[in-house]
């Protein structure tokens, strides 16, 4: 029971945070809940990948891939821009603590900790960006070909 709670409770908080950010990003109606589900799905993917593999760079990549596929799908179903869904759902995964700690180490003149924390934070941020960009690009190439609208 504790393991289920340790996974589902962070997903719930991610859902609530994404709904809040969806409102800030001026996403209307059911789209706010879609953003919340995207954030919860991404966080669930991140946590399960982290338990299976350890670390946090590769799980961040997998979470970004899942979020991008989800956002592209929901945007096509609702005929809305994908950027709102994608940006809001990725927000819980942004390495804010890493950025904060890197700057704290920089100000405290702890150069070794600063560099290692900053590089790790860049790794997580790059994994998020590459995962979202790669899956969005692949989907935008494949989906028109599957629906027979290539070249139109």
Segment 15-57, tens digit of pLDDT:
999 999 988 988 888 889 999 999 999 999 999 999 999 889 9
For residue 148, name the pLDDT band (cuts at 50, 70, 90).
low
Q: Are 46 and 93 in contact (CB under 8 A)?
A: yes
What pLDDT shows up at residue 142? 83
Whole-number Å distance between alpha carbons of 128 and 107 = 27
Distance of CA 89 to CAs 9, 10, 121, 139, Å?
Answer: 17, 14, 19, 18
Whole-number Å distance between alpha carbons of 100 and 106 = 10
**pTM for this structure?**
0.87
The overall average pLDDT reported for the chain is 89
Q: How far is CA 124 from the centre of its chain?
A: 11
Residue 59 has pLDDT above 60, yes or no: yes
- Which among 4, 124, 146 is positioned nearest to 76, based on CA atoms? 146
At 78 the three-state DSSP class reads: helix
Inter-helix orientation angle 111-147/57-78, to 10°: 40
Torsion angle, CA of 47/48/54/56, rounded to 10 degrees?
A: -40
What pLDDT shows up at residue 150? 53
Residue that has been written with the tokens 């996974």 in this structure = 7
């Amino acid at each position: 029971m504790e393991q289920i709670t340790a996974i589902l409770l962070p997903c719930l908080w991610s859902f609530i945070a994404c709904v809040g950010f969806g409102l800030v990003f001026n996403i209307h109606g059911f789209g706010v809940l879609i953003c919340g589900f995207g954030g919860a799905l991404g966080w669930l993917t991140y946590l399960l990948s982290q338990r299976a593999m350890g670390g946090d760079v590769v799980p961040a990549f997998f979470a970004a891939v899942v979020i991008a596929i989800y956002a592209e799908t929901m945007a096509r179903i609702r005929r809305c821009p994908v950027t709102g869904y994608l940006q809001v759902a990725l927000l819980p995964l942004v390495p804010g603590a890493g950025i904060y700690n890197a700057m704290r180490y920089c100000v405290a003149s702890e150069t070794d900790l600063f560099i290692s924390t900053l590089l790790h934070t860049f790794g997580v941020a790059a994994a998020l960006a590459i995962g979202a960009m790669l899956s969005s690009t692949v989907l935008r190439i494949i989906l028109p070909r599957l629906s027979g609208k290539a070249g139109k």
